[in-house]
């Protein structure tokens, strides 16, 4: 089947709508860590600051496509892996995370359809052995694994192999990317997700979580290949954005997005007293170290250390969330209030640090960081109350919000020192 490209403006508009849809209401009212998500509508996509000038050096049609596909493919990888864990364990929130995963699938299909038309969108999403089908095959595999049904596992693996062939052909034909390379990338994705749930089911959490992070990172190599092929095919403008500037934007978005979903999953596991809490906490800390290294690569070792281990800074805010979750599980209102006060202190200290480093307005940074805190707090509050639909809506909003934060920060960094990102 041959697909024809549509106007580039349709692609850019569709991706913007997807981001806005995941980001929520756009309410600019200032929120505080002590309020609920419903009270503050704490789900806006933007960070609350006017970052157009600062981010101009990292935004273009081609770069925006790269970021949008990476963001959605990465979200798919994390949600899919945590969904298989929930399914294997028979968790009550499986349906809610499955719905969130399907929302991500629709967003990816919309992006594909904006370039190649409605027929391609439908085939991508609902064709035989295509996107939704492969998610179903992973559910089948996980169900069979939980039942120790070897025949069922083998059947699911065969179906996943059929998906690799069918989906690789679709992408190669649509984008012009080499089919062999596409097949290899999709096979690796399937193997990583299968390997993660195999290890997790065997209580080999020290293998499962590095695989989970690898699977997330791998999706950005895949999305880079797909977005690069589309950009070349459709003649998307790079807007003069350097490779270094685009890479910085992707790196910060990727790491901040990963932090968000790992932190959310960790609070859920901590609340439930899961056996793998220590290992997911280690994965979250590894992400923290990578973020600190990214900051240090721009601002030096002292800034890296302050970012990571300073009082009321990055590692501290993760600890405050753990303390809040522990207090929530114990119905200890005094400890919950103390944790909220600590998170408020983090918002102030961290906002001042970023403002001094990047030159961005501290008030706007405070608003954006408060948004992040409210979304994560709102998610665990909803999860603890059994409102799983709200919990996963906030999860998706928080993930996409942090990508917008990454765009703002990278734009300010590049504007500060364009020569360092000219290559």
- Taking alpha carbons only, the member of 44, 18, 66 closest to residue 246 is 66
Kindly state whether residues 325 and 217 are assigned to the same domain: no
Mean pLDDT, residues 70-90 taken together: 98
Question: Can you give the residue range of the structural domain that contains 96?
Answer: 60-240
The last residue of a domain, from among 192, 210, 240: 240
User: Which helix (DSSP H) or strand (DSSP E) does residue 282 occupy?
Assistant: helix 277-299
pLDDT of residue 158: 98
Distance CA 421, CA 423 (A): 6
Helices and strands, counts by H and E, the chain: 17, 0
pLDDT of residue 312: 98
Distance CA 110, CA 116 (A): 10
pLDDT of residue 22: 53
The pTM of the full predicted model, rounded to 2 decimals, is 0.90
pLDDT of residue 422: 86
Give tens-digit pLDDT for 333-391. Answer: 999 999 999 999 999 999 999 999 999 999 999 999 999 999 999 999 999 999 999 99
Distance CA 286, CA 213 (A): 10
pLDDT of residue 374: 98
Kindly state whether residues 213 and 131 are assigned to the same domain: yes
Mean pLDDT, residues 287-309 taken together: 98
The answer, yes or no, to whether residue 113 has pLDDT greater than 60, is yes
pLDDT of residue 56: 65
Kindly state whether residues 303 and 236 are assigned to the same domain: no
CA atoms within 13 A on the CB side of 166: 18
pLDDT of residue 114: 93
Query: Does the residue 44 lie in any domain?
Result: no
Kindly state whether residues 183 and 301 are assigned to the same domain: no
Higher model confidence: residue 238 or residue 164?
A: 164
Q: For the chain, state the CA radius of gyration.
A: 21
Quote the number of domains for the chain: 2
The answer, yes or no, to whether residue 13 has pLDDT greater than 80, is no
Mean pLDDT, residues 240-250 taken together: 95
Kindly state whether residues 410 and 309 are assigned to the same domain: yes
Distance CA 290, CA 251 (A): 10
Higher model confidence: residue 44 or residue 65?
A: 65
User: Which helix (DSSP H) or strand (DSSP E) does residue 69 occupy?
Assistant: helix 61-89
The last residue of a domain, from among 191, 206, 240: 240
The answer, yes or no, to whether residue 25 has pLDDT greater than 50, is no
With contact defined as beta carbons under 8 Å apart, do 420 and 299 qualify?
Answer: no
The answer, yes or no, to whether residue 327 has pLDDT greater than 70, is yes
Mean pLDDT, residues 228-251 taken together: 94
The answer, yes or no, to whether residue 183 has pLDDT greater than 80, is yes
- Taking alpha carbons only, the member of 304, 239, 314, 245 closest to residue 284 is 314
Query: Does the residue 9 lie in any domain?
Result: no
Kindly state whether residues 281 and 332 are assigned to the same domain: yes
- In three-state form (DSSP H/G/I as H, E/B as E, the rest C), the secondary structure along 138-199 is HHHHHHHHHCCCHHHHHHHHHHHHHHHHHHHHHHHHHHCCCHHHHHHHHHHHHHHHHHHHHH
């Amino acid at each position: 089947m041959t697909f024809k490209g549509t106007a580039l403006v349709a692609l850019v508009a569709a991706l913007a709508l997807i981001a806005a849809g995941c980001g929520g209401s756009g309410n600019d009212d200032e929120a505080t860590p002590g309020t609920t998500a419903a009270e503050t509508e704490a789900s806006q996509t933007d960070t609350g600051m006017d970052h157009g000038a600062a981010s101009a050096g990292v935004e273009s049609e081609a770069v925006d496509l790269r970021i949008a596909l990476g963001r959605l493919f990465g979200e798919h990888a994390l949600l899919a892996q945590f969904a298989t864990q929930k399914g294997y364990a028979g968790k009550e929130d499986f349906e809610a995370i499955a719905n969130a995963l399907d929302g991500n699938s629709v967003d990816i299909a919309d992006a594909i359809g904006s370039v190649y038309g409605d027929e391609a969108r439908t085939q991508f999403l609902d064709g035989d052995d295509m996107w939704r089908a492969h998610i179903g095959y992973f559910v089948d595999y996980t169900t069979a694994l939980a039942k120790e049904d070897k025949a069922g596992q083998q059947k699911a693996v065969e179906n996943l192999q059929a998906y690799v062939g069918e989906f690789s052909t679709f992408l190669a034909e649509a984008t012009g990317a080499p089919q062999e390379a596409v097949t290899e990338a999709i096979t690796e994705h399937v193997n990583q997700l299968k390997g993660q749930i195999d290890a997790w089911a065997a209580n080999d959490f020290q293998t499962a979580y590095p695989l989970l992070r690898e699977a997330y990172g791998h999706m950005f190599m895949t999305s880079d290949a797909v977005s690069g092929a589309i950009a070349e095919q459709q003649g998307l403008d790079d807007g003069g954005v350097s490779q270094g500037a685009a890479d910085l934007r992707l790196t910060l978005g990727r790491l901040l997005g990963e932090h968000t979903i790992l932190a959310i999953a960790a609070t859920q596991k901590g609340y439930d007293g899961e056996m793998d809490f220590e290992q997911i906490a280690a994965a979250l800390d590894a992400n923290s170290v990578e973020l600190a290294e990214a900051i240090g690569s721009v601002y030096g070792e002292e800034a890296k250390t302050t970012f990571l281990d300073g009082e009321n800074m990055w590692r501290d805010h993760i600890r405050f969330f753990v303390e809040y979750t522990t207090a929530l599980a114990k119905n200890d209102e005094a400890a919950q209030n103390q944790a909220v006060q600590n998170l408020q202190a983090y918002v102030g200290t961290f906002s001042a640090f970023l403002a001094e480093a990047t030159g961005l307005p501290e008030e706007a940074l405070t608003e954006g960081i408060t948004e992040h805190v409210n979304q994560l707090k709102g998610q665990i509050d909803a999860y603890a109350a059994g409102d799983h639909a709200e919990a996963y809506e906030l999860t998706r909003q928080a993930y996409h919000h942090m990508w917008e934060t990454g765009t703002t920060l990278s734009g300010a960094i590049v504007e500060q020192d364009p020569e360092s990102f000219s290559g």
